[in-house]
Every structure is written in structure tokens, then in C-alpha cells.
Chain A
Amino acid sequence: MNRRAGWSWAALAALPIGFLAVFFVWPVAAIVGLGLTDGGVLATLSSGQIWPIAVFTIGQALASTAVALLAGLPVAFLLARCRLPGVGLARTLVLVPFVLPTVVVGLAFRVLLPDSQVLAIVLANAFFNVAVVARTVGGLWSHLDRRAEDAARVLGASRLRAFRVATLPALRPAITSAAAVVFLFCSTSFGVVLILGGARYRTLETEIYLRTTQLLDLPGAAALSLVQFAAVLAALVIGAASRRRRNATRAGERPGEKLSAAPDGARRPAGGEWWLVGAAVGTLVLLLVPIVALLARSLHTSDGWGITGYRALLTGDTEGTVAVSGLDAALNSLRTAADATVLAMVLGVLAAVVLVRLRRTGGARPVAETLDTALMLPLGVSAVTVGFGYLVTLHALPGDLRTSPLLVPFAQALVVTPLVVRIVLPVLGSIDDRLRQAAATLGAAPARVWREVDLAIALRSLVAAAGFGYVVALGEFGATSFLARPDAPTLPVVIAELLARPGEQHAQLAYAACALLMMLTGAVVIALDRLRIAGRAGGLGEF
């Protein structure tokens, strides 16, 4: 790399790193710093009260991740490998839980499992995250060359052994990547634990919330934040280490091989595969239960069935209890999510491009690993900490962002960007560098090389990443709810506000709004899948 090229790479990296520094590191450091200077952090750390909470946090996150993997892998198989009617529908369905408000899902699981709180927490967390597993792993799976597996079968391996020897090792990057994301989501899961854990089961996240928002015990919150940070960092470092080890064992493999071989691997299932299909259908049915219950509830009125909730929602005839009509809130949701997605795509793709470049330059590998880990951190740090951090820092920037409507998409982009990186990075990383070299030799300028090679190959994954990011932003509530929100609420916020009011008409409105949010999500996912099919090129690791 000559010096000029080095500078232009640094310029590319500056945007995502700058964003992370201003909208994550600075606010978090400021609010934790306030707690540290107040003293008392050591007292909290040594009180012994914190450790059972930390252990429970990690334990429930691990258990939830395991359940999400167990439930999600068969669905991934169904989406990637099976040519059956209804698979397209399943692809949409699996994403719907992601946007359901945690309050609503929490309440549903409480009804389902009134007496086993821990199980309810684990299942509810898994419910939200099956999509991450199904779509990450499914994306890679659909591009795996089936011939390796078939060869193993011909050589006499059982289906299970063929899977273990030929398929599983190839899927591992996607599985660990999905597991890392799910673990981070679950360890910071907030609403679910609050509702299902009651007074008894607390996590670092709910405890940070209590100390920050109710008690204003900043030293206590800072102590808990440090523990949370350490736990998340440890998880990420372990993940990165296992990734490195894996890369070392696969040293002989040439990058790019997978991308050139992307046959349509979907067939009718045969023999024992039907068991997997059965398991996948089982998962899907379980995902459907709360969804159908919600839809039914939205049509249920005090005197039978009806659409009063929907009518009131769409006409805005809500007796002044909600500031906006359902349609306005839906539009707000779409706009906010659009802004968050565009921002996250710019940041995430830039970061991925830089990461790929750094990994190629031998000496810069540790820098790449550090940056990669840093980019994931926002998923593992409390939304309360970030939200309160904004309050004590952002006024120093021109045009006080703290009360601007733009802060909401900024906060959402913080959550979406790591997901974009996780989706796009594997694809960009496995593009054969010789293609770029060839293009350069033929006289293409660097930007042109990127457009003709990287963009052309990764386009489908980019669209998939944007789609998944959009869905996450649509349903995002955690980060949003701790900001000083302007009076232009998104649908999840409206739902939470409606549920906090007495009276049958508010309940009906809330559930109708939930249904509207699900339908919006379905429409977005279907539209994006159309787009994806329109451009049937290679692509890896997409959702």
C-alpha cells in the first residue's frame, strides 16, 4: 500500500470510526465517568450483590442462544435446502417476531408459562432471535455446494455423518456469527426480563435501568456497566479467537471458491430430512402462536368480533389519547427506519470494506480484529447507558441533537450497523482478490474496480442486509425509549403508550397497531425478497 492509498483508506475508515466514537464511545464513557467520579463504584462491585446478577445474565443469554440455535437451524435448513410449497411464506414469517414489541411478547409468554419465569425468559428471548439464526445460517447454507455432501453419502456416510463432516464445518462461520449476535441481543434483553422476571430475576441490563432511571445511583450503574462491558468483551474476544483458529485450519482453502459455486441447492427433502422439516415446521408453528393470538385479540371486542380498533386507528378517531393516527405513526416508523437503514448501510459497508482491506494487509490483522470487535460493542452495552450518555454529551455538538428527531435514527443505526457488517463482511471477504487485480490491470480506477467487482458480487447481500436492518429498525424500541422523544412517535412507542392506559378501546387500539406493524413488516420483507430474487447472483451470509 503506498502512502496515498493509505490515506484514502484512512479517510474511508474515519466515517464509521468517527460515528462510533461520537455516538457510542463518548456518551458511554461520559456517563460511566460521572459514576466513577462520584465514588462508590468499588463498594457496589464488592457488595457481592452484583455477581449473582451477572451470572444469571450470562446464563440466561447462553441458554436463550442455545434454544434459538436449536430452533433456528432446522428452519435454516428448510429455507435453504428444501423445495416445498410455502417456503417463501416461512421466510417472511420468521422475521415477524423481530418487530413485535417486547411488552406484547412478554405478556404473551407470561400467559403461556405463568409459573416458570426462567423458562419463559429463555423462550421469549429465543422467540425474538430465531430469525437471526434462520436467516444467517440459511443464507450461507443455500450457497454451499451440495456435491461435497453427496460425495460423502456415496462413500457410505450416513446422512448425519455426511452433515457433520461435509456441511457443518462449512456452516460454522455463519453459526458462530449468528450465535454471537443472538448472545449479545439476549444479554441486553430488557423488556422481556422486566416483565417475565418479576421482582425475582434481574439481569445487569434491568439493574442498570433501575439504578439509572429510578434511583439515579450513577456509581452503582457505572459498576454494573463495567461488569456488562467486561462480559461482552470477553464473549467477543472468545468469538474472535475461535474465528482465527478456524481460519488457520482452513488456510489451504482459496477465498472465492464458494462464491463461484452457487448452484441452486434446494430439492425436495428425502428420508430423514423430513425430520428436520418437521422440526422446522414445529418452530414455525410455535412462532405463529403469539402472532395469531395477537391478530385474534385485535379483532376481539367486548361484544364479539369487530374491527373497531382498526377503524379508530386508521381514522385517527382516538379521542385525543394518542397524539397521532395509526397511519401517521406507521409513516413515522417507515421514515425513521429508512434513515436508520441508510445511515447503517453507509457506515456498515464502509467498515466492512476497510476491514477486508486491513485483513489482506498482513501486519494490520490485529487492527482489523480490534475494529471488528469494537463495531459489535453497541449490541452488548445497555441502551439506558447510551441514552443517558447522550444527555450529558451531545449538547456540546452544534445544533443540540439531544432533542432532535434525528437522534432516534442515529441511535437505531448504532444497533443496525453491526448487523450490516456481519452480513456484508463474509461476502466481501471471500471475493477472490485476483478479480480485483485483473480489473486494475485492465486499467480500472480503484472506485471502478470496487463497483465492477465488489459491488457486483455483493449486491444481493447488500440488499438483504438493508432489508434486515430495516426490519430491526422498524421494531426497535429499546434505544428509542430512553431518548427524549419528540412528539412524532413510531408504532412501537404508540403501542407501549396505549397499553399504559386503562379501558377496552385502548387495548383494542394497541393490538390493532401491533397488527399494523406486523403487516408493514411482512410487506417490507416480501418486497425485498422480490428484489433479491430479481437479482439472482451469488451472495453469502445474508439474512
Chain B
Amino acid sequence: MLPKSRLLTSAVSLFAIGALTGCTLIGDTSQPESNTVTLVTHDSWAAPQQVLDEFERESGITIKVNKSGDAGELTNKLVLTKDNPIGDIAYGVDSTFASRALDEEVFATYRSPHANSGPQRYDLDEQHRLTAVDVGDVCVNIDTEFFAEAGLPEPENYRDLANPRYRDQLVVPDAATSSPGLAFLLGTIAEFGGGWAEYWGELKANGVQVVSGWEEAYGQEFSGSAEQGSRPIVVSYASSPAAEVSPDGSAPTRALPETCYRQVEYAGVLAGTPNTPAARTVLDFLLSEPFQRSVAESMYVYPARADVDLPESWAEVAPLPDKSSSLPAEQVQRNREQWVAQWRELVQE
């Protein structure tokens, strides 16, 4: 049976071909040089290559990006590794998790020269360990076509969502497993204070649907997105309508400004980094005009700087909400676990 040796030969040669054509990562690990800065960030990170290249050319610093889960996972990883940080700078810790990172002294003090052109509005601590880079408010979105066709007035605020007129129309992501889900829960707590649990009871009676993540809520259940689900009201972002704009410039969906909860994403130089000067330069870059101008279209968030314009279509269909609610970071930190546990009990009955 000759084929056996042929099999061995072909297996070996296949692997050799694979290795030669670069079918392996070995040898790919370029040693980090002194002018490489590791940016630890969340999974939603995206930036135009052109902007990154430009920065590299001007500063001589190469940014190595490490994606580390959502805002919560990112924060916890930073806390666990604060003595031996996995990078030099972190971006993406949001207002919900910021106080944990500050308490654990993950970040070092640094005030960027750009910090006063807008980011200061979202400052959290006097030591300037975290600087706001962008704002991504969580708002209820509605499918305007649905309401036009059904001859129903569009809902506007939290109270409307509990109105029997909008029965079985709202879908929300789980507050325990999804960051917009948690933001919406915090929004209802900011709105109703101690009466939030009662309000959720009303939502429940009105047929609210809870799904595990934003992907299911917006991508699958919501009638205004690509999959054309069955529910015309969804918890998403203030910016979501900008992604649904049709070629003629109109948007089939709308965010309700009265239901927005402010989420700010921060960046900071990691306390344990040996590379502080370069990390500071990268933080300056995150606040620079070219980067700030790119965040809207790359990551669907609003620039923290006040002097950077939104893309044209955004100004019309997805302006930055001006009366978003928010809760103090320490209050969120102190109560998050208990609120979420109580919320879970409420919705799963």
C-alpha cells in the first residue's frame, strides 16, 4: 500500500507550503519598540487607517491596539492588571464603570492641552486621571414609519412606554449583560428615583420584551432596522438613526431625546506604564481634531470636543441630545449590583 508514505509526504509538504506562504503567526510578532504605544480599548474600537497613519508619521509613535471586551470587561481587566498593565493607555472605560477604575487607582494624572475644548464638561475627578473622549447617549429609538402607518401618535417619553396604547411594542437589552441595557435601567432610575421598580412593573404589564444583547434587540426585534423585526420601539443609541439613513437622506427611525441617558467614554494613561510620555502623546491624539472628527462615523459616538462638527447627515437625523439624564458615578458604583439583581427579579417573574 504505497499511498501511506505518499500521505505522509503530502501532509508534510502541505504544512511546509502553509508555513512558507505565511499560514502561521510565528515570526509575526514584531518586538514592541520604544515608540510603540499599546492602547487597550473596547471591542467597538474603530478608526480610519488614514488618521492613524498620519499620527504615526507626525509623532513617530505606532499605536498597537488591544481589544478587551465591552466597557465593563475592559475596566475589570485594567483593575486586575494594574500592577502589571497590559498597555500604556486605555480608552473606553465609560461613566458607568469609571469610579471603579478611579477607586482602584488604575490611571495616572494627566491633563491634555485639548482637555479644555469640550472634554472638561464631563470631568469626573479633580486629579484629571480620566479625560472624556466621546459621548454615546443611550436613547429609546422608534420606527417612525410604523407609527405613521398605524395612525398612532409617536411615543415621546418614559411614561408613554408604559401606556397600553404601545402594548407589546418595546424591546430592551438585558441590564445584566448589555451596556445599553444597563444605561436604560439607570435612565429609569434617574427619572423615577425610588419609584423605578414600580415603573418597570408597569413596563412588564405592558409587554416589554427583554433580550440578552443590543444585537438581538436592535438587529433582530426592532422593526426599523435591517432585519425588520416586529417591535417598533427599542433601546439603542442617540446615533442609531444615522446608520439607517436611506440614499435619499431620510431616516426611517428616530431617537426620543426625553429618554436619553448620558454615557461618556474616557481615556487615561495607565498608572503602571513605563512609557508615560508617548502614552500622553496618544491621549492628545485621541482628543485631536482629526480623531475627534472620525469618531461619529467610525464608532457611532459624539466627539467630546465642542469645536468639532458632526457629519452633515447627523446634524439632522441624530443630533446630540441636549437633556440627557445621568447619575453620579459613585452612586452607580455603589448600587449597580443590587439594582441589577432587583431588576432581574422583576423582569423574570
Contacts and interface: CB of A to CB of B under 8 A. Distances in A.
Nearest to B346: A199
B8 A502 contact: no
Given A487-B65, A536-B3, A459 B176 contact: no
A499 B225 CA distance: 12
B92 interface: no
B86 A534 contact: no
A206 B212 CA distance: 11
A500 B44 contact: yes
B81 interface: yes
B298 interface: yes
Nearest to B43: A497
Interface residues of B, number: 76
B277 interface: no
A429 interface: no
A502 B243 contact: yes
Contact of A212 (B76, B176, B344): B76
Given A302-B226, A338-B24, A500 B81 contact: no
A535 B7 contact: yes
Interface in B48-77: 48-49, 64-70, 72-73, 75-77
Contact of A531 (B11, B212, B214, B300): B11
B337 A215 contact: yes
A198 B25 contact: no
Contacts of B174: 198-199
B210 A107 contact: no
Nearest to A460: B7
Given A199-B347, A335-B23, A537-B4, A502 B215 contact: no
B4 A216 contact: no
B100 interface: yes
Contact of A195 (B10, B25, B213, B347): B213
Contact of A198 (B66, B73, B210): B210
B177 to A, nearest CB: 6
A486 interface: yes
B130 to A, nearest CB: 18
A500 B42 CA distance: 12
B65 to A, nearest CB: 4
Contact of A499 (B1, B215, B344): B215
Interface in A188-222: 194-195, 197-200, 206, 210, 212-217
B24 A339 contact: yes
Contacts of B29: 404-406
B284 interface: no
28 contacts: A110-B216, A111-B220, A195-B216, A217-B337, A320-B48, A320-B297, A320-B298, A322-B46, A338-B18, A338-B23, A395-B84, A406-B29, A409-B25, A482-B69, A482-B73, A484-B77, A486-B66, A487-B67, A499-B219, A501-B44, A502-B225, A502-B237, A502-B300, A503-B243, A535-B6, A536-B3, A537-B1, A537-B3
Smallest CB-CB A-B distances: 5 pairs: A535-B7, A503-B243, A502-B243, A213-B73, A504-B226
Interface of A: 34, 103, 107, 110-111, 194-195, 197-200, 206, 210, 212-217, 302, 319-323, 331, 334-336, 338-339, 342, 388, 391-392, 395, 400, 402-406, 408-409, 456, 459-460, 463, 466, 481-482, 484-487, 489, 496-497, 499-504, 506-508, 531, 534-537
Given A507-B225, A531-B10, 9 more contacts: A195-B211, A198-B211, A199-B176, A206-B177, A213-B76, A319-B297, A408-B25, A500-B215, A502-B240
